[in-house]
Every structure is written in C-alpha cells, then in structure tokens.
Structure 1
Amino acid sequence: MIKVVISKYNDTIHAFEISGHANSGPYGYDLVCAAVSAVSFGSVNAVTALCETELIVDQAGEGGYLYVELPNSLTGERLEKANIILEAMIESLKTIERQYGEFIKITIE
C-alpha cells in the first residue's frame, strides 16, 4: 500500500512523505503507482520552477519513498503559490484514493 502523509502547520503545507508500493499490477504496469508518481513528481517540479526555490527532497534509489519539505526561507507570495500547487497535488491524490482506496491511504497531520 502507498501511504501519503501530509504535514501542515497553521493550514500551510510544510512537508509530505510518500512511502510504499501499491502492488495493484505487475511491475512496470502498476497504474496506481504510476499515477501517484506522476502527480507527486509533477507537483515537486512545478513548485521548484514556478516558485523559484529548491525543495528539501529525500528519495529512495529503488523507488517507494519520497519526502519533500518546503524550506523555511520560502515566504510570502512564493509560499502561497507553493501551497496552492501542493493542495492541487493532494486533491489529485484524493481522486486516486477514492477510486483505488485499497492501494493508497492519505493522512493529513
């Protein structure tokens, strides 16, 4: 199962962690895993490019783990923009969870 943990402080996303594997299909054909990867990495790339910032990123070499944290230096309009992008990511992940809930679980702390 893929576990997504979103860390918020004062309604602002501070970090998120995605771990595990969906195992919803054979390796290379796992649609849930592919969807979660596309949504999460697309969002990370969007924040990096549109907010002109480097995120704190940790990922496992073989996949199955992604941790992303917004830097403390990100403030004001850039922080607001980053949060809009990450909120959109959460909504996309929730759409996947609604359809494939046996393979993905989202928690917001």
Structure 2
Amino acid sequence: MIRVCVQYNEYDAIASFDMRGHAEAGPHGQDIVCAGVSAVTIGTVNAIHTLCDVDIVTDMTDAGGHLMCRVPEGLTPRTYEDVQLLLKSMVLSLQAIADVHQAYMTVEIDRR
C-alpha cells in the first residue's frame, strides 16, 4: 500500500509530504495506481522546479517506494504562493486516486 502523509505548518500551508510503499495493484510496469501516484508527485516536484525556479528539498530511495519533499525556507511571498498552489493541486489529485483505489493507497493530512 502507498501511504502519503502531507504535513501542514502552523500557517495552514503545506510544509512537506512523505510517500512510502508500493500499491501492488497490478504487475510491475502495469500498476496504474503506482503510475498515477508517481506521475502526480514527480510531476509536481518537476513543475515546482521548472515553473517556480525552486529546488524543493527531496529525499528518495533508488529502489523506489519512498519520496520525501519539503518546501525550502526563504522563498518570496509570490513564489511561496505558487508552490503552495501546485502542492494543493497535488494533494487533490492524490486524494482523488485514493478515493477510487482505497485498497492500494491512503492520503493522511497532518495539521499540527
């Protein structure tokens, strides 16, 4: 099962997300849940880098199954808003996938 945990900061903004596990919803290379989750998360990280010119802090295992991303400090207010919009869109997409494929993934929201 893929577990995505999205952590918000005290200002109700997304501070980081951590994705772990494998969906195992199909054979390797044919797992649509894994493909969808990977496309959404990696696409978001790439969009933040390309569109916002921000190198989001990432940690990922070579074998797959783990991706952690954290929003860096020191962004301008406009860039921070743009990064937040992309991350919020990512969360909505992941929740939509989880709603349809509950047996293979969950999205947890951590509002401290």
**TM-score normalised by L of structure 1:** 0.97
Aligned equivalent of 1:6: 6
Aligned equivalent of 1:60: 61
**Displacement of 1:49:** 1.2
Aligned equivalent of 1:90: 91
**Displacement of 1:12:** 0.5
Cα RMSD of the aligned pairs, angstroms, is 0.7
What is the CA–CA distance in structure 1 between the aligned matches of 2:107 and 2:76, rounded to whole Å? 26
Per-residue CA deviations over 1:12-66 (Å, capped at 9, x if unaligned) read 1110010000000011111000000000000001111111111111000010000
Q: Secondary structure at the match of 2:75?
A: coil
Aligned equivalent of 2:19: 18
What is the CA–CA distance in structure 1 between the aligned matches of 2:79 and 2:61, rounded to whole Å? 28
Structure 2 gaps of 5+ residues are: none
Matching of residues 62-81 of structure 1 within 5 Å: 62-81=63-82
What is the CA–CA distance in structure 2 between the aligned matches of 1:12 and 1:75, rounded to whole Å? 15
**TM-score normalised by L of structure 2:** 0.95
**Displacement of 1:75:** 3.4
**Counterpart of 1:3 in structure 2: which amino acid?**
R
Number of aligned positions between the proteins: 109
Q: Secondary structure at the match of 1:108?
A: strand
**Counterpart of 1:52 in structure 2: which amino acid?**
D
Structure 1 window deviating more from structure 2 (44-53 vs 16-25): it is: 44-53
Q: Secondary structure at the match of 1:71?
A: coil
What is the CA–CA distance in structure 1 between the aligned matches of 2:76 and 2:18, rounded to whole Å? 21
**Displacement of 1:73:** 1.6
Aligned equivalent of 1:107: 108
**Counterpart of 2:74 in structure 1: which amino acid?**
S
